[in-house]
Chain A
Amino acid sequence: MQIKNLQKRFHIGRSQTLHAVDGVSLDIAENSIVGLVGESGSGKSTLGKTLVGLHDKSGGDVYYRGDRLPDRYKSADYRRYSKNIQMIFQDPYASLNPRMTIEEILTEPLRLQHQGDSKSNRELAASWLQKVNLHAAHLGRYPHEFSGGQRQRIGIARALITEPDFVVCDEPISALDVSVQAQVINLLGELQDTMGLTLLFIAHDLSMVRYISDEMVVMYLGSVVEQGPSDDVFFTPKHPYSQALTKANPLADPKQEKQRSHDLIKGEVPSPVNLPPGCRFVGRCPKASERCHSERPLLQPVGRDHLVACHLYD
């Protein structure tokens, strides 16, 4: 998957424009897991949804295996691409239709692809339930009969049943309890390995993203501020925003927590409507200079495969 200068703007009346995704370029290598982090409003979910065609693109190009994805999906496009590009959603309660049985939920992607007959699809659905550690006997049940973690695993089975290569996971664990998060993460890691999946893993839990992904991408107000190998970005963040994020990331270790300084970055994410020129982070940045107000920094290398968009590293 190759993303070039992707833009997504929403027009919100009175000639105001909200720049949700503002010029993101990203290459996602096959069989890799790329973690995408950022606070709410950073545009990470919008980016994920745009990649699978749930939002129209406002500009830029997305190539999937050299094939340029359409700016606006028509129903034939969904049929063509959704076999290979799938999505796992955040809310396991809202993403399953409560009036459909688990069998109907799992076989719907196959039916839309005109794949198999009802008997073979049923068998496939049953085998997928087992792969996500549920029972084939659950096929006739409805979503409300399952817990959050179980529903999330059904959502995973639905996304993977057409054997896609590329899956966007939009905060797949943030609605789950800690004890259940590990189940879902282990399952995703295992399936990624056996099926050779490429995952775009969107989350705000930095520790979990560092653990699961090969590469980490940090977004702020619609643009990428830092990207690189996960351990590099997590342990030696370069951008002041990434530094603030890792500093604020709570650690389950009282001694470390009580020792480290809690220098706070002030303020909140500003509104992405009618953005000013210059660096997006300038209003909250402790190290901002004159130049940051007028000139927008571009991504530049600071280490091996490690890019950062900040004038400090010019």
Chain B
Amino acid sequence: MSDNNIIEQHKAPALDVRDLQVEFDAQGGVVKAVRGVSFSVNPGETLGIVGESGCGKSVTMMSVMGLIPMPPGRIVGGSAKLNGRELLGLPLRELNNIRGAEIGMVFQDPMSALNPTMRIGEQIAETLMIHRGIGKTEALKRAVELLERTKIPEAAKRARQYPFEFSGGMLQRAVIAMSLACNPSVLIADEPTTALDVTIQNQVLELMREIQREEGMAIVLITHDLGVVARMADHVTVMYAGQVVESGTVDDIFYRSAHPYTLGLKEAMPSAEMHVEQKLTAIAGSPPDLFAPPAGCGYCNRCNHALNICDKLGPELIAVGEGHHSRCWLQHAQAKREVAELYQGSKRAC
């Protein structure tokens, strides 16, 4: 690859999703799970997607990879480009060439991501045989190298073992080894460390970091753990009720949070000085029912700062800084004054 090409690649996002809309037919109506989600991630960077269960963060990534069962699922609109190539609507055969080769995937539960009746080494080799057309002996050799790369001790012996002989942390390393087999340009990790203990989580995150530094791939990290995001992400997208409510650099999100939901998430966790006598600022209520998404802002019934307009008309994403957007009327030009007053009232205002 010439130098020009490398520079070119660094300009263009590795994965670019625009206005994605996904619905599901369910008993009793249509669930609008993803309602116009856009984000992009550049090579060598990590995008954290944060949100609580049911906010559509996993569905978004599954749709991008064509893993949504259709029916009942349906991609209503939008686009998802991998290195400039449209993914949505690709025929299955072409998708299969991309998944596992250009996009690597790591899921929350490594046990169910692997075939329990196949040896670990063979599963990794299979990826190489299919996507790279390598012979079995050569592929098995490469599989052992990949296991060594993800720091699995006694890789050659481990490659001949079955998933049940691995611990959770080791399995997740094996899944990472498999997802890296074909040098993907994008790695999608959906809650990769949620099932692991903190010391093991530490090891797996550090491994992902190290490999990213060497390979320069883009990582999309889906998680609900703000600590993991703070550690890993360059950019962050906060999702709520099927929409992006705030996006920006990791510092924008943590130190200059603009959306009341982001603020709420931060305040719901105890700071280092707090004790049980001081109440945590809980977010009351629960997310809206996406069978009938609200006409206005999805967060307004839980929001302390809601204005009259909020339950009638949903706001657009409003720029609050360079590359920093928030979907909240409080940031609208005409509401600015009121915002300052409101945030003064809040304990840990931005």
**B9 in the interface, Cβ–Cβ < 8 Å?**
no
Say whether B224 contacts A248, CB under 8 Å.
Answer: no
Per-residue 0/1 for A25-57: is the Cβ within 8 Å of any B Cβ (1 yes, 0 no)? Answer: 000000001000001100000000000000000
Whole-angstrom distance from the CB of A234 to the nearest CB of chain B? 9
A116 in the interface (beta carbon within 8 A):
no
**Quick one: given A208-B270, A210-B270, A253-B230, are A182 and B281 in contact (CB under 8 Å)?**
yes
A305 on the B face (CB < 8 A): no
Contact B250 A39 (CB under 8 A): no
Bitwise interface map of A from 243 to 278 toward B, beta carbon under 8 Å scored 1, else 0:
011011111111111100010111011000000000
Q: B206, B224, B280 — which one has the most chain A CB atoms within 10 A of its CB?
A: B280
Interchain pairs with CB closer than 8 A, number: 119
Minimum CB–CB distance from B107 to chain A (whole Å) comes to: 18
> Which residues between 100 and 127 of chain B lie within 8 Å of chain A, taking CB atoms?
none
Known: A182-B268, A182-B283. A264 touches B227 (CB 8 A): no
Q: In the complex, A33→B275 CA distance in Å?
A: 12
A-contact bits for B218-230, CB 8 A (1 contact / 0 none): 0000001111111
- Residues on B with C-beta less than 8 A from A248 are 198-199, 201-202
Query: Which B residues are CB-close (under 8 A) to A208?
Result: 269-270
Q: Assess the A250–B224 pair: CB atoms within 8 A.
A: no
Known: A179-B52, A182-B282, A249-B198. A211 touches B276 (CB 8 A): yes
Report B251-265 residues with CB < 8 Å from chain A CB: 251, 254-255, 264-265
A17 at the interface (CB under 8 A from B): no
Residues 117-170 of B contacting A (Cβ, < 8 Å): 167, 169-170
- With A183-B284, A252-B269 known to touch, is A178 a contact of B198 (CB < 8 Å)? no
Q: Are B167 and A250 in contact (CB under 8 A)?
A: no
Q: Which residue of A lies closest to B274 (CB)?
A: A211
Q: How many Å lie between the Cα of A181 and that of B255 in the bound state?
A: 22
- B200 on the interface (CB 8 Å rule)? yes
State the CA gap A83–B167 with chains docked (Å).
39
- Chain A: CB-nearest residue to B205: A262
A211 with B227: CB separation less than 8 A: no
Residue interface bits B233-275, CB-to-A below 8 A is 1, else 0: 1000000000000000011001100000000111011101011
A275 to B80, alpha carbons, bound, how many Å? 53
Residues of chain A within 8 A of B170, CB atoms compared = 268
Choice from A179, A258, A264 contacting B264 with Cβ under 8 Å: A179
Contact present for A254 and B230 (CB under 8 Å):
yes
How does the 8 Å CB contact mask read for B192-208 relative to A, with 1 for contact and 0 for none? 00000111111100100
- How far in angstroms is the closest Cβ of chain B from A292? 19
CB-based nearest B residue for A41: B197
A251 — which chain B residues lie within 8 A by C-beta? 227, 230-231
User: In the complex the two chains form, is B254's CB within 8 Å of A40's CB?
Assistant: no
Taking residues whose C-beta sits less than 8 angstroms from the other chain, chain B's interface range is 35 or more
CB-based contact A182/B225 at 8 Å:
no
Complex Cα distance A197/B169, Å? 37
Q: In the complex, A253→B272 CA distance in Å?
A: 11
What separation, in Å, do the CA atoms of A33 and B199 have in the docked complex? 25
**B282 near A179: Cβ-Cβ < 8 Å:** yes
In the complex, residue of chain B having the shortest beta-carbon distance to the beta carbon of A174: B194
CB distance from A232 to the nearest CB of B (A): 13
**A residues near B270, Cβ cutoff 8 Å:** 207-208, 210-211
Q: Does B93 contact A (CB under 8 A)?
A: no
Q: CB-CB contacts of A138-177 with B at 8 A, as 1s and 0s?
A: 0000000001111000000000000000000000000001
Q: Are B254 and A185 in contact (CB under 8 A)?
A: no
In the assembled complex, which residues on chain A have CB atoms less than 8 Å from the CB atom of B53? 148, 177
Contacts of B229 in A (CB 8 A): 252
Q: In chain B, residues 74-116, which have Cβ atoms closer than 8 Å to a Cβ of chain A?
A: none
The answer to whether A252 and B198 have CB atoms under 8 Å apart is: no
Tell me the smallest distance from the CB of A261 to a CB of chain B, in Å.
11
State whether A254 and B254 are in contact (beta carbons under 8 Å apart), knowing that A204-B197, A249-B198 are contacts in the complex. yes
Q: Which residue of A lies closest to B194 (CB)?
A: A174
Q: Which of A150, A177, A213, A250 has the most CB of B within 10 A?
A: A250
- Contacts known (A147-B286, A178-B269, A252-B269); A212 close to B254, Cβ less than 8 A: no
Question: CB < 8 Å: which of B199, B206, B254, B280 contacts A253?
Answer: B254
Beyond A148-B53, A149-B286, A255-B251, 4 additional contacts (C-beta under 8 Å) are: A186-B282, A204-B197, A211-B276, A248-B198
> Which 6 pairs of residues, A with B, have the shortest CB-CB distance?
A250-B227, A211-B270, A182-B282, A177-B52, A182-B268, A39-B197
